[in-house]
Amino acid sequence: MCFKKKSVLLIFLICILVPAVPSWATDIRIGVLANNGKELCLRQWQPTADYLAEKIVAHSFEIVPLDFDEIETAMANGRVEFVTANPSLHCH
């Protein structure tokens, strides 16, 4: 799936699911698999976070670049509310 399609799908899912996040949780952290480095990941995904913050003003959005090894721990520790990664990732 190309980057633009992934962004649109993520935006759609977040718009549906953000109302389920408690209203006191103003910061929504989105974990993104950073296959090509964390800096590139931030450059590519920051426009998505900015767009979401513009459209859903009650929340701020932060992109959290993650390596394969960091995703499961970040989810388990509540470091991120959402994760976008390729479908081959299997968490326990």
Q: What is the CATH number of the domain that holds 61?
A: 3.40.190.10
Structural domain count of the chain: 1
Global pTM?
0.69
Q: Is residue 90 part of a domain?
A: no
pLDDT tens, position by position, 58-92: 889 999 999 988 988 999 999 999 888 766 555 55
pLDDT tens, position by position, 34-65: 989 999 999 999 999 999 999 888 889 999 99
Contacts 24+ apart (CB under 8 A), 1-9: 3/44, 6/84, 7/45, 7/48
Q: Is residue 92 part of a domain?
A: no
Quick one: pLDDT at residue 26?
Answer: 66
- In whole angstroms, what is the distance from residue 77 CA to residue 67 CA? 15
Quick one: pLDDT at residue 12?
Answer: 65
Q: Is residue 91 part of a domain?
A: no
Whether residue 14 contacts residue 1, with contact meaning beta carbons closer than 8 Å, is answered with no
Quick one: pLDDT at residue 1?
Answer: 43
Instruction: Write out the two tokens for 57.
Output: 């003003």
Range of the domain at 7: 3-84
